[in-house]
Structure 1
Amino acid sequence: MANQQLFLGIDCGTQGTKALVLDATSGQVLGLGAAAHSMISGPNGCREQDTGEWLEAFTQATRQALANAGVDGQAILGIGVSGQQHGLVLLDEQDQVLRPAKLWCDTETTPENDRLLAHLGGESGSLARLGVVIAPGYTVSKLLWTREQHPQVFNRIARILLPHDFLNHWLTGRHCTEYGDASGTGYFNVRTRQWDESLLSHIDPSGRLQSALPELIEAHQPVGRILPAIAAHLGINPDAVVASGGGDNMMGAIGTGNIQPGVITMSLGSSGTVYAYAAEPVVSPQPSVATFCSSSGGWLPLICTMNLTNATGAVRELLALDIDAFNTLVTEAPIGAEGVCMLPFLNGERVPALPHATGSLLGLTTTNLTRANLCRAVVEGTTFGLRYGLDLLRANGLQAQSIRLIGGGSKSPVWRQIVADIMDTTVICTEQSEAAALGAAIQAAWCQSGAQHGLAELCERCVKLDPASETRPVAAHVAASQQAYERYRQHVATL
């Protein structure tokens, strides 16, 4: 056991914080911990969180993971932090948090985003200037909103941080960020990897925002060492190195070994994401494709759908089914659900780009309106949205031999087969479903070693695929799924 090299990976998400202890020598995950966060929801799509809850959950999850692994916290060599992207944390001159963090899923700033997009010259102007199309979830509209709704808070801003930057600051006292998470702010140029300071002066000509920006560091650079008081509080080694960290999608890419071209990661969570590594910033002309930077030194073109397990869950609850009964019904219905098609846009939709859409059931007749067809239609409908996004990524030159599946939906063999058939690609799950926390721990090992240990070598050892989950497309299913997908596309076109 003497040659163990222990690292802590933290993933601070919307629902809660996960912690994971990784032995980078054997590649084994030794223990896990978790603690929940609550959400502050208000009118007009306000979604915020109290940053103090993140710190409590970080502490609780870390102590639980160490106990679960049966390891001494003094043996931890490094910590990596993954955070939900786009959130806004504002600090004053004394590094005190000024107000609750506005989150990625907050839509209260839609009017501000619309005005900023118009200032940039619409979608094409935003793509040309930043390499991404700013959306209401991004950080930039939250700054304009703060200026207009909370001028007294705005006037006290000394630091602008993203959730993972804030946690790194708590750990080390430093204000910095890395390119992956920075690329989701909406005031960062993903091609040149620089802040767009003139966009910030448009929001506030005084220059306050530019001077509040964190320092940019490279993915392989550590932020620094953990502060002695925080080390004592968490019960870990005061010499532990804190890695650059990154956004949850960037860390999920590392945690699925998606750090070179040829792999696609697909996450089946409450929302769905599809992303792949790119060595160059080839910006898609499609506004739905976000060409973010990766947290491993390259780029990470990504699409996100707003409706996935939230839609399947809604149908499950409506019919009062548990997961097994739901999956059984899905398999009882034929591919295409006998013509029943669900457009599952319960939250509006980002891909296809229909922000004001609502959900609908189409193609119903007296004979095909069955529970099985409804269950099948919602799984197919959500998966068609991911196929739509994958087609956009493929049109931009991404190739993949296989899809690595993560997220709650990936645990269902039925859903895995549907994904394989609709995408016409082999799918496989990673053994560790907490891909973002694992990616953060792997990145910590990379940063702590002074990047001597290549990231590829670490991923090779620490990211394990689950051979039992490998699911190949069935030719007859692929043809039938393609027909159903074309019908979905026709229905979407009428919106």
Structure 2
Amino acid sequence: MYLGIDCGTQGTKALLVDENGSPLGRGYAKHLLIEGESGAREQEPKWWVEALKSSVRIALGQAGSAEVSALGVSGQQHGLVVLDEAYEVIRPAKLWNDTQTAGQNAELIELLGGRDECLRRFGILPLTGYTASKLLWMKQVEPANFKRIRHILLPHEYLNFWLTGEMKAEYGDASGTAFFDVRTRMWAREVLDAIDGRTGQLFRALPPLMGSEETVGVVLEEVARELGIPPGCIVSSGGGDNMMGAIGTGNVREGVVTMSLGTSSTVYSYQDHPSDDRTGEVAPFCSSSGGWLPLVCTMNATNVVMGTLNLLGKTVEEIELALAEIKPGADGLTFLPFLNGERTPDLPLARGSLVGISAMNYTASHLVRAAVEGVSFGILSGLNLILKGRRPEVILVIGGGARSEGWRQLLADATGASVRVPAEEESGCLGAAMQAMVAYSRAYGGAITLVEVADRCAKISADATLTPRPELREAYDRARQLYTERLHSAYPHLV
């Protein structure tokens, strides 16, 4: 058996599969969240460890077996975990959706020579939410804690450390720190020097880099006993949740688009070469499968839709009713869904707004449709940047939003693409387990590739595929154009 673990924002999931990717056992445990009015979003790393233990035990119990050959860990990207010289966590981890460091991010970009210079020097533009600005925030706001930093880890790397006692970083997750050159696949020391004043403190705190096909180590004996798995269990490199989601949906060759509709929304497509985007809107990440994974993330997705439903006293099932009842464009009602600020476009301090309210469209159903459209149009604008205006032919949709047939149909109608759903809903877990299969094979002299594993394990749910309705394309084009016009009216500097 192979075990995939996905440490997300809301909780940790565990999935046990056989060599064909068929599920044998599942587990889940929730996380707490520390929130602040200033935009702080933090979690204690020990909560992830406890959730990992609980979810794995549940999955093993369902499987009725503990014979795990290898495991992989998927983790929420960009989170900052800092340890002192005794390997103790210094403070709660600041998460990907923490906007408290917006000022420090702007300051860091200036320190590095501006937006264009960042893109030229490192191939990536630091955005609020990436790891780098969190370090500058610590230096300015918590100087005593900053001085104690001896080790810098991302969430999945911290869990790998707990599992194996080894500290290593892998290219995909590292590329979301903003102190990593995505073209050369090396740490960008100049970024850290700009933060710590060239003392070398932060650069020395970084773990060594490794390829995604390599093995971090094996599970420690005491950890194996606690989890109930064999002590020789191999741990693959793991990676960020988007990178593992790409693997789990078979997005390991060019031409595949994956869209995740979770708390945040992401869209990405594997490439054999680095992204040449110069807008700064596309995150030119490395993949965890040997290539690159240009990605656009919006920070507002299912949280906006669920918040709207809760405010109106509606249930999830009523999304379908609202989308069926109200025509595309919501009769002129536009929802700019920036409840948590926004990453794409880069508006960390933005707030949401409803535009175009009238007596005709001021209904609960219109509000629900406007919320779904606002989230969808935002992420589809990102897809346009990745594909450089080309129309996608197939989009694989994952995450909580993928459960809504009406939402999937909206995406199909608005893009002209066939919208498909992977058979395994937990693509991050599956991707981590698939990567573990490759690591296990190579550890014993095999030469299996992720493409081969993906062909075997990344299956599509045939009865969930939706095709576009051409007669609605014009209406959605008009609605998307109105959304763009109102966005630029609210934020003129984006034009």
Which residue is 2:191 aligned to?
199
Which runs of 4 or more aligned residues in structure 1 lie more than 6 Å from their structure 2 counterparts after TM superposition? none
The answer to whether the Cα contact below 8 Å between 2:152 and 2:206 also exists between their aligned partners in 1 is: yes
Does residue 131 of structure 2 align to residue 136 of structure 1?
A: no
- Spell out, residue by residue over 1:364-407, the C-alpha distance to the aligned partner (whole angstroms, 9 max, x if none): 332332322222221112111111111111118x7743100001
- Spell out, residue by residue over 1:135-193, the C-alpha distance to the aligned partner (whole angstroms, 9 max, x if none): 12111111122222222222222211111111111111111110000001111010111
Could you tell me which of 460, 485, 489 is aligned with 2:484?
Answer: 489
Distance apart, 1:43 and its partner CA: 4.3
Q: Counterparts of 1:317 and 1:233 in 2: how far apart (Å)?
A: 39
Which residue is 1:33 aligned to?
27
Q: Counterparts of 1:210 and 1:325 in 2: how far apart (Å)?
A: 51
Q: Counterparts of 2:179 and 2:409 in 1: how far apart (Å)?
A: 40
Does residue 437 of structure 2 align to residue 445 of structure 1?
A: yes
- Spell out, residue by residue over 1:261-319, the C-alpha distance to the aligned partner (whole angstroms, 9 max, x if none): 11100011121110010100023012110000000110000001121111111221222
Q: Counterparts of 1:255 and 1:8 in 2: how far apart (Å)?
A: 13
Could you tell me which of 23, 46, 69 is aligned with 2:18?
Answer: 23
Does residue 392 of structure 2 align to residue 409 of structure 1?
A: no
- Spell out, residue by residue over 1:327-366, the C-alpha distance to the aligned partner (whole angstroms, 9 max, x if none): 2122111122222222222222222333333222222332
Q: Counterparts of 1:326 and 1:233 in 2: how far apart (Å)?
A: 43
Q: Amino acid of the residue matched to residue 367 of structure 2?
A: L
Deviates more, 1:214-223 or 1:374-383: 374-383
Deviates more, 1:119-128 or 1:299-308: 119-128
The answer to whether the Cα contact below 8 Å between 2:102 and 2:348 also exists between their aligned partners in 1 is: no
Which residue is 1:294 aligned to?
287
SS of residue in 2 equivalent to 1:18: strand
Q: Amino acid of the residue matched to residue 48 of structure 1?
A: E
Which residue is 2:64 aligned to?
70
Gaps of 5+ in 2: 491-495
SS of residue in 1 equivalent to 2:318: helix
Identity of aligned residues (%): 48
Deviates more, 1:239-248 or 1:135-144: 135-144
Q: Counterparts of 2:115 and 2:353 in 1: how far apart (Å)?
A: 27
Which residue is 1:3 aligned to?
none
C-alpha RMSD of matched pairs (Å): 1.4
1:161-200 → structure 2 map (5 Å cutoff): 161-200=153-192
Q: Counterparts of 2:71 and 2:451 in 1: how far apart (Å)?
A: 19
Q: Counterparts of 1:220 and 1:10 in 2: how far apart (Å)?
A: 17
Q: Counterparts of 1:384 and 1:168 in 2: how far apart (Å)?
A: 37
Does residue 278 of structure 2 align to residue 285 of structure 1?
A: yes
Could you tell me which of 464, 470, 474 is aligned with 2:465?
Answer: 470
The answer to whether the Cα contact below 8 Å between 1:352 and 1:388 also exists between their aligned partners in 2 is: no
SS of residue in 1 equivalent to 2:393: strand
SS of residue in 1 equivalent to 2:349: coil
Q: Counterparts of 1:230 and 1:348 in 2: how far apart (Å)?
A: 39
Could you tell me which of 398, 414, 437 is aligned with 1:422?
Answer: 414
Gaps of 5+ in 1: 1-5
Deviates more, 1:361-370 or 1:87-96: 361-370
Distance apart, 1:462 and its partner CA: 1.2
The answer to whether the Cα contact below 8 Å between 2:412 and 2:467 also exists between their aligned partners in 1 is: yes
Which residue is 1:113 aligned to?
105
Deviates more, 1:260-269 or 1:146-155: 146-155
Per the normalisation by structure 1, the TM-score is 0.95
The answer to whether the Cα contact below 8 Å between 1:251 and 1:295 also exists between their aligned partners in 2 is: yes
Could you tell me which of 215, 240, 247 is aligned with 2:240?
Answer: 247
Per the normalisation by structure 2, the TM-score is 0.95
